[in-house]
Structure 1
Amino acid sequence: MHTMNVILVAVDGSREAGHAFEAALPIAKAQGSQLVITQVINQNAHRPMSNYDSSIIGEAENEARQRLDQYKKQAEEFGVIDVVADIEYGSPKITIPSEVVPKYHVDLIVTGATGLNAVEKLFLGSVSEHLTKNAGCSVMVVRP
């Protein structure tokens, strides 16, 4: 079996992302992989609200940091030795394959089948679908 040196799990606060995280843990531990946990904050999704309240983006960053810190702690308690928590900005569909994957030399992306943004999925397709087509590495889509 091909060794997965770097495993990326994309989270967004959804239950599906939690399932993806849980699926990534035993793989990362068994392979001795670095586990990169990333959340991409889509500033465009917050832009209409941030015109009225500039703290919206800051709140999203604080929530993401707390979530990532919690996931990192869980991964380390599970026995994953090398864990990185990463916040990125932009569209998850674009940012993950074009920036995050090359930045960490990712071998495997673990993602939930669906996430928080149902409207974007309706009009543009899901992030997981986009990743399977464009990531340049293996992608594991986790269903609950």
Structure 2
Amino acid sequence: MATNYKTVAVAIDFSEQSLKAYERAVKLAIEYGATLQLMNVIDTKSFGAVTAYDLKYAEKLKEENFIKIEKLKKEAQTAGVTEVLTNVETGSPKSILTKLPAVDLLVCGATGLNQLEKMVLGSVAERIVRLASCDVLIVR
């Protein structure tokens, strides 16, 4: 039995792997006539201790990533995706991405920006595979 995905989410951290995942998600959204949800989660745990500086940095990064994600939204719409949602959040990518509501398929890159995670399947990707309540596609 074929699956018809209605909502395809893609995790984007702007790494090369996540942009490949984005391209695949766009194709899938077009193929299934699905809503495309572009997700960017700024990992605030990687900032170290929570200080006013860290919070200002996170907010500035959130604003910058929102501009980047809106550009990807326009590209997806130009490619033929009819409905594109965007979301830029701060927190733990592992936690946020595994708890997305109303998502049928989550697409992500095998590795992200974290250099240590590039040695093996990224820990975010590994956690998504284990804990997501929807289908998961890992793109290399």
Match of 2:107 in 1: 110
Change (3 A) 1:30 1:52: closer
Q: For 1:94-121, what per-residue CA distance to the aligned partner results, in whole angstroms no more than 9, with x for missing partners? A: 11112xx22xx00000100000123467
Q: How many residues align?
A: 137
Aligned partner (choices 134, 138, 141) of residue 138 of structure 2: 141
TM-score (norm 2): 0.89
Mapped contact 2:105–2:137 kept (Cα < 8 A): yes
Which residue number in structure 2 is paired with residue 83 of structure 1? 84
List runs of 5+ in structure 2 lacking aligned partners. Answer: none
Q: For residue 70 of structure 1, what is the amino acid of its counterpart?
A: K
Structure (1/2) with the larger helix percentage: 1
Greater mean alpha carbon deviation, residues 127-136 or residues 36-45: 36-45
Q: 5+ unaligned residues in a row in structure 1: which ranges? A: none
Secondary structure of 2:95's aligned partner: helix
Distance 1:53 1:26, change over 3 A: closer
The match for 2:57 is 56
Question: After superposition, where does 1:1-144 map in structure 2 within 5 Å?
Answer: 1-48=2-49, 50-52=51-53, 54-98=55-99, 101-102=100-101, 105-119=102-116, 126-143=123-140
Of all paired residues, the percent bearing the same amino acid is 35
Q: What is the deviation of 1:43?
A: 1.9
The answer as to whether partners of 2:30 and 2:80 remain within 8 angstroms in 1 is yes
Distance 1:41 1:53, change over 3 A: closer
- TM-score, normalised by the number of residues in structure 1: 0.86
Question: Alignment RMSD, CA only?
Answer: 1.9
Q: Within 2, Cα distance between the matches of 1:17 and 1:55?
A: 25
